[in-house]
Amino acid sequence: MTTSAQDIDRFVDAGELIPLLCSVAELSGDRTLLADEFRPKLDLEMIAIPEFGGLSQEVAEEAFERIRNALKRHFASGRKNGQTDLSAEDLVDFLTDGSDEYADLMRHELGEPEPVTWTKDEVAVGRDFVVGIVGAGQSGLAMARALRRSGIDFVMFEKADKVGGTWRWNAYPGCRLDTSTLAYSYSFFQRRDWRHYFAVREEIEDYYNDFAEHERLLESIRFNSKVVRASWKEDDSRWELAVEDTRSCEVSTVRVQALVSAVGFLNQPKIPDFADLDKCQGEKVHSAEWHSGVEYRGKRVAIIGTGASAYQIAPNIVDEVESLTIFQRSAPWILPAPLYEAEVSQGRQWLMENIPTYHRWLRMWEFWFSTIGKYAVTKADPNWSSTESVSEPNQRFRDALVQNIRRQYVGHEDLLDSVIPSYPVGAKRMLRDNGRWARTLQQPHTVLVTEEIDKFDEEGIRTVSGDHHRAHLTVLATGFDGTNYLGTIDVRGRGGLSLREHWGDESRAHKGVAIPGFPNLFCVQGPNTGLVAIGSQTFMAECAINYITECLRQLLVTGAAAIEPTQDAYRGYVKWIEEGNRGMAWAASAERSWYRNANGTNTVSWPYPLLTYYELTRSVEEDEVVMTYPSTQKTSV
């Protein structure tokens, strides 16, 4: 695509105003684009990205005009890109109105290269030190990159035959991102040629593959290798791993000095204990175990669940099935996303191709909104008494979403009682869609069942009132055992202590990463790092990885054999997390969710602003860890 004046006039309006101002200022050096009058006006309790960044129509038109003129001048000048004296600081300052609270975090999200301040050669000359990473999905690959940059040897174990983690396993029809593609991608591997605003599964798999190739990680991955046991060996301060070859079932032993779990928390399908499930003659498949042989075309299909997986499967099979029966226990909150299934427009493609940093600023903008906006509307007001909402802004959010639902069900008002959730917005993860869910429920051959399932029989499913629903295929979109962290590996720490027994049903980790008694063991996407309403999991993984790398640095700098959090730091942290969660919609409401264990304790969710996790994971504090030296005496750093 060319950069003629006509193209500029035609395509610039397809852009988001604020990211355009930043990226065109960066490209052209035109500082008038960063005038005070164009600074975004954001409301801390916003429920959607405001049009024109909160600027009035009149000011926005003036800004677009300046952008067009700046681009025309730039392209006509023949000047090379990147020849301006504007710094990231200038732009961040424009965006944040001079407040530097978020400046460092923003630079990180822009993908500004972070200097590697140390290497293994400097801190551990001649030391035999290898880190084992379990899982080659989003977290594992990013961890491997961080270690490679720091000069630390590693080996990765992946039970599948390729990279991609959850995107490798979840192969059901319609599987795609339900959060923005840009915000989901790594800050340090941003891409401008995404085909969808919400990437389809195959695109994400390709992205991870490209990343692994780009970083030359593939040669360090042992595919078809499942770590089944990890035992800490006190004598030589190593983790001994039992690794099963998933094809031959042979088990081999591998020893590493440190171990990183990057297995995620949505890797163990949860199949409820339905009475007589095994008696049902029809095919049954969990959403995460969907395979190309699943036969749904022309069949009577039952889907159990209405969470993130079910609401993607149903609209994508409904036109090809004989009948669709959806069993709903509680209705999901769904955020309107008109571009949910759309391909990226020609205008946006033009902007991505021709304004070198537009994609970075757009990603930052989306991240910025999801960082500050939804936090405020999911915070519970202790003086608010309603079961429908947790605060005044939360009630406003609810009202806006209910209005949207009512618009989608005109002519089908009989469904309204079933599809308007009774619990507060933010008590569970919200979904996004473009109206297809509502259209699916309104199909004449779709039935939404809200009554409890009593049992299965040979022909299908019976609910408690005795109604029977025949099914050739039952899709169990019933989620994952999200609170059972590291549940697929038998982990044994100091003195043979079993992690499973140590945790019981309450998985916890200091900073979501480390556990006393389990030296040199680190988790990415560990306990209480899950996000319900704000930000992106990618951000949380990047933060945890930074902390892990810092822990390893401490270990290598000091010549210690092992590092782990102190009991005090761990206990204090857990208490602080519990207090925080009590103040958020996902805990203040009594609504059931996979973030809570059987006792109702939330071991999954992160309760504070994202900035807090970012800051917590930048460094290792002196009094939070214990180091063990080869002579085995313990000392704080």
Pairing of strands 521-523, 258-261: parallel
Is 205 one of the binding residues for ligand NAP (CB under 6 A)? no
Q: Residue 504 burial by CB count (10 A; 0-12/13-18/19+): exposed, middle or buried?
A: exposed
Read off the amino acid at residue 17.
L
- Binding ligand NAP (rule: CB under 6 A), the pick from 272, 298, 338, 630 is 272
Q: Which stretch binds ligand NAP (CB under 6 A): 92-100, 121-129, 306-314, 501-509?
A: 306-314
Residue (365 or 480) nearer to ligand NAP, CB: 480
What does the per-residue mask of binding to ligand NAP show for 512-541, with x meaning CB under 6 A? Answer: ------------------------------
Least Å distance, CB 43 to ligand NAP, is: 27
Per CB under 6 A, the list member of 163, 390, 477, 577 interacting with ligand NAP is 477
Helix (H) or strand (E) holding 150: helix 138-150
Q: Which of 15, 19, 40, 305 binds ligand NAP (CB under 6 A)?
A: 305
Using rule CB under 6 A, residue 455 touches ligand NAP: no
Q: How far apart are CA 312 and CA 175, in angstroms?
A: 6
| Structure tokens belonging to residue 221 | 């991955």
Could you say whether residue 310 binds ligand NAP (CB under 6 A)? yes
> What separation in angstroms does the CA of 175 have from each of 138, 205, 231, 285, 621?
16, 12, 36, 15, 41
Contact 123, 92 (CB under 8 A): no
Out of 53, 137, 164, 479, name the contact with ligand NAP by CB under 6 A: 479
> Could you say whether residue 209 binds ligand NAP (CB under 6 A)?
no
Cβ closest to ligand NAP, residue 141 vs residue 310 = 310
Q: Please report, as residue ranges, which positions from 63 to 92 form the binding site for ligand NAP (by CB under 6 A).
A: none
Query: Using CB under 6 A, which of the segments 31-39, 56-64, 176-184, 489-497 binds ligand NAP?
Result: 176-184
For the CA atoms of 600, 601, 603, 609, the dihedral, rounded to the nearest 10 degrees, stands at: 110
Is residue 308 involved in binding ligand NAP (CB under 6 A)? yes
Q: Which one of the spans 114-122, 250-258, 305-313, 546-554 is the region binding ligand NAP (CB under 6 A)?
A: 305-313
Q: Site for ligand NAP (CB under 6 A): which residue of 306, 371, 549, 603?
A: 306
Category of 385 on φ-ψ map: left (φ > 0), alpha (ψ -120 to 50) or beta:
beta
Cβ atoms of 535 and 367 within 8 Å: the answer is: yes
Q: How far is the CB of 306 from ligand NAP (least distance, A)?
A: 4
Residue 478 lies near ligand NAP (rule: CB under 6 A): yes
Give how far Cα 139 sits from Cα of 58, 164, 277, 548, Å.
44, 10, 35, 12
Q: Reading across the β-sheet that carries 562-565, which strands appear in turn?
A: 562-565, 625-628, 634-636
Cβ(332)–Cβ(430) below 8 Å:
yes
Q: 69: part of which helix (H) or strand (E)?
A: helix 57-77
Output 27 or 584, the one with its CB closest to ligand NAP. Answer: 584
Q: Where are the alpha helices (DSSP H) in 194-318?
A: 201-214, 310-317
Identify whether the C-beta of residue 516 lies closer than 8 Å to the C-beta of residue 628.
Answer: no
The residues facing 460 across adjacent strands are: 470
Phi, psi of 258, rounded to the nearest 5 degrees:
-145, 155
Contacts for 579 with CB less than 8 Å, ≥ 6 apart: none
Stretch that binds ligand NAP, among 256-264, 346-354, 478-486, 610-618 (CB under 6 A): 478-486
Phi/psi-derived region of residue 569, left when phi > 0, alpha when psi is between -120 and 50, beta in every other case: alpha
Single residue of 195, 247, 592, 618 touching ligand NAP by CB under 6 A: 592
- The residue (of 221 and 531) whose beta carbon lies closer to ligand NAP is 531
- Is residue 594 part of the contact set for ligand NAP (CB under 6 A)? yes
Half-sphere exposure of 145 (CA within 13 A, CB side): 22
Residues with Cβ < 8 Å from 2, sequence gap 6 or more?
none
Using CB under 6 A as the binding rule, the residues of this chain from 315 to 334 that contact ligand NAP are 327, 329-330
Q: Which stretch binds ligand NAP (CB under 6 A): 111-119, 242-250, 475-483, 495-503?
A: 475-483
Minimum distance between the CB of residue 477 and ligand NAP, rounded to whole angstroms?
5
Instruction: Out of 20, 131, 227, 266, point to the residue binding ligand NAP (CB under 6 A).
Output: 266
Q: Which is nearer to ligand NAP, 44 or 590 (CB)?
A: 590
Closest contact distance (angstroms) between CB of 166 and ligand NAP is 8
Closest residue by Cα to residue 174 from 335, 285, 310, 327: 310
15 versus 535: smaller Cβ distance to ligand NAP: 535
**Chain residue whose CB lies nearest ligand NAP:** 307
- Choose among 591, 312, 308: nearest CA to 431: 308
Alpha helices per DSSP H over 318-421 = 346-354, 358-378, 392-408, 416-419
Q: In the set 192, 226, 374, 429, which binds ligand NAP (CB under 6 A)?
A: 429
Q: How far is the CB of 288 from ligand NAP (least distance, A)?
A: 7
- CA dist 177 and 202 (Å) reads 11
For residue 36, give the H/E element and its range.
none
Residue 57: phi and psi, rounded to 5, are -55, -40
**Which CB, 260 or 531, lies closer to ligand NAP?**
531
Instruction: With beta carbons less than 8 A apart as the criterion, state whether 185 and 207 touch.
Output: yes
Nearer to ligand NAP, 243 or 475 (CB): 475
x-marked contacts with ligand NAP along 343-372 as a string, rule CB under 6 A: ------------------------------
Select 179 or 357, whichever has its Cβ closest to ligand NAP. Answer: 179
Smallest gap, in angstroms, from Cβ of residue 181 to ligand NAP? 11
Both structure tokens of 3: 């950069």
Question: Does 177 interact with ligand NAP (rule: CB under 6 A)?
Answer: yes
Pick from 368, 423, 437, 480: which binds ligand NAP (CB under 6 A)? 480
> Residues 274-293: x/- map of binding to ligand NAP (CB under 6 A)?
-------------x------
Q: How many residues bind ligand NAP (CB under 6 A)?
A: 24
Strand, coil or helix: 576: helix
Please choose, from the candidates 471, 445, 465, 446, the residue with its C-alpha nearest in 3D space to the C-alpha of residue 277: 471
What minimum distance in Å lies between the beta carbon of 373 and ligand NAP? 19
Min separation Cβ 470 and ligand NAP, Å: 18
139 near ligand NAP, judged by CB under 6 A: no
Strands (E), 137-237: 153-157, 221-222, 225-233
Q: Which is nearer to ligand NAP, 315 or 519 (CB)?
A: 315
* Least distance between ligand NAP and beta carbon 491 (Å): 23
Query: DSSP state, 165?
Result: T
With respect to ligand NAP, which residue has the nearer C-beta, 53 or 305?
305
| Site residues for ligand NAP per CB under 6 A | 176-178, 266, 272, 287, 304-310, 327, 329-330, 429, 453, 477-480, 592, 594
